[in-house]
Amino acid sequence: MASADTTGTTGGTLGVAVVGYSFMGKAHSNAWRNVNAFYGGPPVAQRVLVGRDEEQVAQAAARFGWEESSTDWRTVLERDDVDIVDICAPGHLHAELATAALEAGKHVIVEKPLANTLTEAEDMAAAARKARAAGVHSMVGFNYRRLPALTEAKRMVADGTLGTIRQVKISYLQDWLADAGAPMSWRLRSETAGSGALGDLASHAVDQIHYLLGEPVTSVSGTVETFVKERPGDDGPEPVTVDDAAWATARTASGTVASLEVSRYATGRKNALQIEIYGSAGSLTFDLESLNELHYYDAGAAGGRQGFSRILMTEEEHPYLKAWWPTGHILGWDHTFTSQAADFITAVAAGTAPIPSFEDGLAVQRVLTSLQDSAAKASAVVDISHWT
């Protein structure tokens, strides 16, 4: 394995390659284009955008500010002017791409979920540990850890503002598949996506349990459902081989109980990650569709004056806000990816391990796999404490 130069290979500049040019590739491209403008830090260069369709990836590269495009990721890994490989490809490609990039001495970001299977996730975490010893770093892209409101929520949990955390409720609801006539896509095939709402949405939800509470899930019981069994494909009807929705009850090491619900069929919900944290001294609520707001209930307030207060996350004191706009000027979903890129290059330049790590991604995959196992056993409780 090559040993990475954390200062970059070209005059201190960190050269970046992104694999994937569609939804996530666009979001990550926007982040790399803006990270230095707002956060400073080690200079980055948008070297190459990689994709399967030569014409489309070339068009995307020109539109998003890349120096060039390529359809061959293996050739990209051989380039001396590429230091960071950012993987936004479908899940079935994550393990091969990430492992090869790490072995080539490239720092790696992989979009969530880390992998399609538990075995792949374990192999990727092992490759990341080996690479880290040679100064090559990696991170899984749970971008909601960079939301100012959720970063502040984590601080409030950690500093005891809410007291003892008793229960957490997390739902992530979308409706983009509510139309039963919507066409087949790679996200609905197990061989490319691994799972449906589980990998797509529950991965975020489980990671937020781990992130906000600072402890892992130790047991889970759940069920899954596929509402529409067949979708129109290029050659006629095609079976849907992933879940459409999932429900679960989870417990953490300290005894906190978390309920979880995810769906891509929740009519009227566009991107509703909703989180409720209930403690002995107070509670917090958050909704991604109002992502600049955190609602706090102080159980110690004087009688008759208790109630949820709205905290608008636009002050300089709030996480990540110094890099952006004056007080009262809100951030958007896309800002999380720019903040994520900033955290990553800062860690790489300092030679420290970025967070969340591949091990964190593996911890999420263990919960998702255990939830699937539980569903297959009529919602039996699956103990995963031996992994924590």
DSSP string computed for 246-289: EEEEEEETT--EEEEEEES--TT-SSEEEEEEEESSEEEEEEGG
pLDDT digits (tens, 9 = 90+) for 247-272: 999 999 999 999 999 999 999 999 99
Tens of pLDDT, residue by residue over 317-326, are 999 999 999 9
Beta bridge partners of 308: 297
Distance of CA 106 to the CA centre of its chain: 20
Chain position carrying tokens 């540990």: 129
The domain defined by 14-143 folds into Rossmann fold (3.40.50)
The torsion angle over the Cα atoms of residues 220, 222, 228 and 229, rounded to 10 degrees, is: 80
Rounded Cα distance, 137 and 282, in Å: 38
Distances (CA, A) of 331 to 154, 204, 230, 317: 19, 20, 39, 15
Q: Which of 79, 65, 76, 62 is nearest to 19 (CA)?
A: 76
Report, as an integer, the average pLDDT of 19-48: 97
d(CA 28, CA 20): 9
Peptide bond between residue 113 and the one before it cis (omega within 30 degrees of 0): yes
> Residue 35: which of 59, 18, 20, 50 has the closest Cα?
18
Domain positions in the chain: 14-143, 148-290+292-331+364-382
pLDDT in tens, 181-193: 999 999 999 999 9
Given this model, what pLDDT does residue 2 score?
46
Q: What is the structure's pLDDT at 388? A: 72
Specify whether the CB–CB gap between 328 and 348 falls below 8 A: no
pLDDT single digits (tens) 109-154: 999 999 999 999 999 999 999 999 999 999 999 999 999 999 999 9
Q: Which of 280, 279, 320, 275 is nearest to 295 (CA)?
A: 275
Report in angstroms the alpha-carbon separations of 381 from 85, 219, 323: 38, 7, 44
Three-state SS for 160-193 is CCCCCEEEEEEEEECCCCCCCCCCCCHHHCHHHH
Q: Quick one: pLDDT band at residue 3, thresholds 50, 70, 90? A: very low
293: nearest Cα among 307, 315, 312, 273: 312
The pLDDT-based confidence of 379 (bands split at 50, 70, 90) is: confident
Residue carrying structure tokens 């109002």: 290
Report which residue type is found at 263: S
Q: Assign domain 148-290+292-331+364-382 to a CATH class.
A: alpha beta
The pLDDT value recorded for residue 76 is 98
0.75 exceeded by the pTM? yes
Strand partners of residue 237: 232
Is the pLDDT reported for residue 4 higher than 60?
A: no
The DSSP code sequence of 21-62 is -SHHHHHHHHHHHHHHHHH--S-EEEEEEE-S-HHHHHHHHH
pLDDT band at residue 9 under the 50/70/90 scheme:
low
DSSP state letter for 314: -
Q: What is the DSSP string of 195-240?
A: SSHIIIIIHHHHHHHHHHHSS-EEEEEEEEE-S--EEEETTEEEE-
CA pair distance 244, 95, nearest whole angstrom:
24
